Structure 1
Amino acid sequence: MSDTDNPYYQAYLREKKARREVEQLLEDSSRQLYEKNQLLEQQLTQITQQQQFLLQQEKLSTLGTLAAGLAHEINNPLAFMLSNVQTLTHYCQRLLANQQANAELEYITSDLPELLQEIEQGGLRIRDIVKSLLFFSKTGSCEIQHVELHQACELAAIMLNAELGAVGLSIDVNPAHKIMFTPHEFSAVLVNLLMNANQACQKVQHRPTQITLRSSLSDGKVLLTLADNGCGMDHATQQQIFNPFFSTQDVGKGTGMGLPMVLQLLNKHQSQIQVESSLGQGTVINLTLPAA
C-alpha cells in the first residue's frame, strides 16, 4: 500500500497542515496584537499630551481672568513705593544742599521710618503676588512632594484678592497640616474652586457672602473643606459639574474645563472630592487629600 493510500499518512498530513495553519494564525494574531499595542501606546501618549495641554490652557484662561485684578494688586504697592522713593530722594537732596532748618530736619527724621516701612511692605506684597503666580503657573513634570496646606491656601487667596470684592474669605487651616501633592497642580485645584465659590457669591446681592477654608484630619487623611453661602446649585446642575465643557457662566466667560481639570488632578493624586449644594443657600466642597 502506497503512502497516498495509507490512512495514517493522510492523517499525518492533515495534522501537519492544520498545525501550520494554527501556527500561521498565531503568528498573524501576535503581529496584529503587537501593532494594536503600539497604536494604543501612541494614542495613550497623545491623550496624556492633550490632557496636559488642556490643563495649561485652563491655567492660561484662569490667569487671563485674574490678570486685571493682579495688575491692580501689584500697581497699588508699586505706586506708593515709587512715591516714597521720590520723597526720600527729595529729602536727600535738601539735606545734601544743607538748606533745611532744625525744625525741618526733625520732621524729615520722624518721617523716614514710616516711608521706609511702607516701601518694605510694598516690596513684600509684590514678592508674595509674584510667588503666588509662580506657584500657580509653573509647568513641567514636578514630583509629588510635601505641600504646606496653609501656605498654599494663603497664596491662592493672594491671587484672588482683587476678584473677591465684598466677598469675605476666611482661612482656618491648621499650619501643621501637610499633604502629598504636586505643588503647582494643587494650586490650580484651589484657585479654580475658589473662583467658582467667588462667582457663586457674586450672584447674591441681598446678603453678605463669605467663603471659608478649614482643615481637619480624618482616618490618616487631610480633609480640606471649602464652604460658601453663595447662590448654590440645583440637583440637575450638580449632576453635570464635572462634565467637560459644561459651564453655568455666560457664553465666552467660562471654558467648562475648570472642574473636570480639578477632578483629573485629584484622581492623579489619589484624592477625592465631594460636593453638597443647596440652591439659594450655598455649597460645601470636601477634599480628601493624602497626608504627608
Structure 2
Amino acid sequence: MRRYLAVILLLVIATAAVVYDGVFRYENSRVLAISNHLLERVYSRTMREYYALLADARTSIERDGGTHMLLTLQQRSPLSNFLEAGPSLDELRQPGDWQVSVSLEELSSSVAVPLDTHDKAGLLLDLYSRYSNQRLALRIDMQNWIHQTTEDLGLGLLPFTVTWRGNALPQLDDGDMQSMTLFNDFLIPEFSLYLSHNEILELFNQYTLAILVAAMVSIPEAILLLWLWRQYFRGRNLQKVLERTSLDLQRQKQQNQARSRMLKKASEQVKGLNDDLEKARIRMELSERLAALGEISAGIAHEINNPVAYSLSNLSTLKEDLSVLTEFIQQVDKATDLLDKDSEAYQALLKAYQSLDVPDALGSAPERIHDASEGIERVARIIQDMRKLSRGANDGMRACDLNRELESVFNIARSRLKGNIQLITELQALPPVHCNPSQIGQVVLNMLVNSIQAIGSDKGGEITLRQVVHDQQLEMSICDNGPGMDEETASKVFEPFFTTKDEGQGTGMGLALCYQLIEAHQGRIELATEKGKGTCFTVWLPLGTSDVSAGDSHAE
C-alpha cells in the first residue's frame, strides 16, 4: 500500500513541477514584454523632451534671443526643472560632467569625458549654429531628469546608466547592466541608455501565480488518484467476493440449467399451442370476412342479377314477339286492301287502326325495347363492377394496371352522377403500380362520391380526375368546382368521425380511412380548398415496389 502512495505522491509532484515551470516561463515572458514596453515609454519621453530642447535652442539662436528666450520657451517642458543655462560652460561645469558640443543645423556632435567620475555628474551641452556663430551653454541634471520621468510614469526610481565608448554616467558595475534594457542612439548617436527592469518585474507575482496554478492542478490530481487508488482496492476486494460467490452461482447454474431444459420444453409446447391458436384465429377472421363478402355477393347475385337476367331475357323474347306482331299487323293491313271500303268490317278496322295510332306504336316500340335493354345491361355492368371491387379487397399488394382497375370505379361513380355534373378523366399511360388495387379504388370512389355530394344540384358541376407522373411517383388529383370548405373544416376532414353531413347520412370515417390506406401504401394525401372556389384532393402514390401490406378497409 505504501508503494502505491509513493507513486501517487511522485506523480503529483512531477505534475506540479511541470505546471509550475510552464506557467512561470509564460508569465515571466509576458511580464518582461510589459516591462520593455514601459521602458520604451521612458526612452520615448526623454527623447521627445530632448529634441524639443534642441528645437527651442535653435529658435532662440535664430531670433537672437539668447539664454533668456530659451528658458522662456522651456518653461512648459518637464525638462526645464533640470536645466541650467549660463554665459559659458565653465560657469556651469561640475565634477564629473560630460561635455557634448552639438551643431543645431546638422545635429552633429562631439563628446568630452573627464577622467574623474562622480555620482551626481550631469551633461554639459554646447549648442551652436554654424551660420550665426552664436552659442548656448546648458547643463542637464541627467540623474534627476530620468528619475523624475520614471516616477511620472509610475515606475518609481529605476536604476539607469548612459554609456559612451565604455564610459558610464554614473558608473555602474557590469552585473547591473546585464539586467538592464538597452536603448541605442540616446540624445546623440554615440550614447546608449540602459534602464533596469528588475524593479518592474518585482511588481508582478510570477512565482505566486505559478505556485497557485500548480496547486490548482496538483490538488485535484491527488484527490483523483487517491479516489482511483481506493476504487482499485475496493474492486480487488469485490473481485475476491465475486470469486467466492461465483462457485455458488456455478452450482446453482447447473441446477437451473436442468430446470430451464424442462421449462424450455414446456415453453415450446405452450408456444406451439399459441401459434396454433393464432393461426386458427386468423383463419377464423378470414373465414368470417370471406363469408360476409360471399353473403353480400350471393345476395347481390340473388336479389339483382337474377331479375336483371330475367328482364334481359324477357326483353329479348318481347322483341321477337313484337316482330311477329308487327308482321301480323302488316299482313292484316294488306288483307284489308281486298275488302270493300264501304263495308262495315273495313270501316271498323280503319277506325281502330287510326284511333290506336298503330304506325307510331309499331315504329317506337323497338326503340323503347332497345333503351330498356341498354338500361338493364348498364345495371348489370354496375353490379359486376361492385362485385369486382369487393372481390379484390383480399388481393393484397401486387403489381397491376391501375387505370384498368379504376374503370370499375369510374363506372360506379358515373352511375351516381346527376344531370348537372360532368366527370372528366385525364389518365396517363402508367407502368405497373405495386399496390392493393381494390383499396386504391375505394379511396378514389370515396373522393368522387364526396365531390358529387358536395356539388349537389348546382348547375355546371364539374369533377376532374388528372394523373401526372413525377420521379417514380404518381400524382392523382380529384378536383371539383363545388362550394369548397373554410380553414376550420379543412383542418378536420381527416379526423375520424368528423362529418359535415346531416345526422344519419354519414359516419365521418370515409376520409380518415382513405388517409390510413394511402399511408399504408407509403403515400400521402394533400388538400387544397377555399370557400366558394371548390376542393382538390391530391393523392401521391409511389410507383415502385413496397414491402408494406395495406390492411382491408372500405370507404364511406
Q: TM-score, normalised by structure 2?
A: 0.37
Q: What percent identity do the matched residue pairs reach?
A: 22
CA contact (8 A) 1:81 1:118 kept: no
Q: Which residue pairs with 1:245 in the alignment?
A: 497
> In 2, are the aligned partners of 1:94 and 1:100 still within 8 Å (CA)?
no
Alignment of 1:217-232 (within 5 A): 217-232=469-484
Residue number in structure 1 paired with 2:538: 286
Rounded Cα–Cα distance in structure 2 between residues aligned with 1:114 and 1:94: 14
SS in structure 2 of the partner of residue 242 of structure 1 = coil
Higher relative contact order (CA closer than 8 Å, sequence separation 6+): 1
* 1:168 correspondence with 2:400: no
**Residues 1:195 and 2:449 aligned together:** yes
TM-aligned CA distance change 1:237 to 1:119, over 3 Å? closer
> For the Cα contact (< 8 Å) 1:266–1:273, is it kept in 2?
yes
Asked if 1:128 corresponds to 2:381, the answer is yes
For residue 245 of structure 1, give the secondary structure of its aligned residue in structure 2.
coil
| SS of residue in 1 equivalent to 2:394 | coil
1:179 aligns with 2:411: no
Q: Given the alignment, which residue of 72, 88, 92 partners 2:320?
A: 88
Q: Corresponding residue for 1:63?
A: none
Identify the residue that residue 268 of structure 1 maps to in structure 2.
520
Q: CA deviation at 1:279?
A: 1.7
Distance 1:285 1:17, change over 3 A: farther
Deviation string for 1:95-129 (max 9, x for gaps)? 589955569xxx99998986786576446423421
Amino acid at match of 1:237: T
TM-superposed CA distance for 1:134, in Å, is: 1.4
Contact 1:135 1:187 in 2 (8 A): no
Which residue pairs with 1:208 in the alignment? 460
Contact 2:311-2:376 within 8 A present in 1 as well: no
Check whether the contact 1:210–1:229 (CA below 8 A) recurs between aligned residues: yes
Q: Is the 8 A contact 2:468 2:476 kept in 1?
A: yes
User: 1:189 Cα deviation (Å)?
Assistant: 0.9
- Pick one of 372, 381, 396 that aligns with 1:143: 396
User: Could you tell which deviates more after superposition, 79-88 or 170-179?
Assistant: 79-88
Shift of 1:212: 0.6
Give the aligned length: 252
One-letter code of the match for 1:278? E
Judged with a 3 Å threshold, the aligned counterparts in structure 2 of structure 1 residues 8 and 90 are, in CA distance, closer, same or farther, namely closer
SS in 2 for 1:226: strand
Cα distance in 2 for residues equivalent to 1:167 and 1:78: 32
Structure 1 150/8 Cα, relative in aligned 2: closer, same or farther at 3 Å?
A: closer
* Larger Rg belongs to: 2
AA in 2 matched with 1:170: I
Q: Over residues 247-282 of structure 1, what are the superposed CA-to-partner deviations in whole Å (9 max), with x where a residue is unaligned?
A: 222222111111121122212222221111112211
Task: Write the distance in 1 (CA, Å) between the matches of 2:417 and 2:511.
Answer: 19
CA–CA distance in structure 1, aligned partners of residues 437 and 334 of structure 2: 55
SS at match of 1:227: strand
Q: 1:25-104 residue pairs with structure 2 within 5 A? A: 82=314, 85-92=317-324, 95=327, 99=331
The alignment partner of 2:454 has SS state of: helix
Structure 2 CA distance for partners of 1:102 and 1:115, relative to 1, 3 Å: farther
2:485 touches 2:532 (CA, 8 Å); kept in 1? yes
Cα distance change of structure 1 residues 225 and 99 upon mapping to structure 2, 3 Å threshold: same
For residues 276 and 261 of structure 1, the distance between their equivalents in structure 2, rounded to whole angstroms, comes to 19
Contact preservation (8 Å) 2:402, 2:437: no
> How far did residue 219 of structure 1 move?
0.9
Structure 1: gaps of 5 or more residues? 1-6, 61-66
Counterparts of 1:159 and 1:174 in 2: how far apart (Å)? 21
Cα 1:18–1:255 change in 2 (3 A) is farther
TM-score by length of 1: 0.64
Q: Using a 3 Å threshold, how does the CA distance of structure 1 residues 264 and 102 change in structure 2: closer, same or farther? A: farther
Amino acid in structure 2 at the alignment position of 1:144: M
Stretches of structure 2 lacking an aligned partner (at least 5 in a row):
1-237, 336-359, 545-556
- Which of 488, 497, 512 is matched with 1:236 structurally? 488
Question: RMSD over aligned Cα, in angstroms?
Answer: 4.8
Structure 1 residues 92 and 180: CA distance shift in structure 2, 3 A: farther
Assess, with a 3 A threshold, how the Cα gap between structure 1 residues 252 and 149 changes in structure 2: closer, same or farther. Answer: same
2:226 corresponds in structure 1 to none
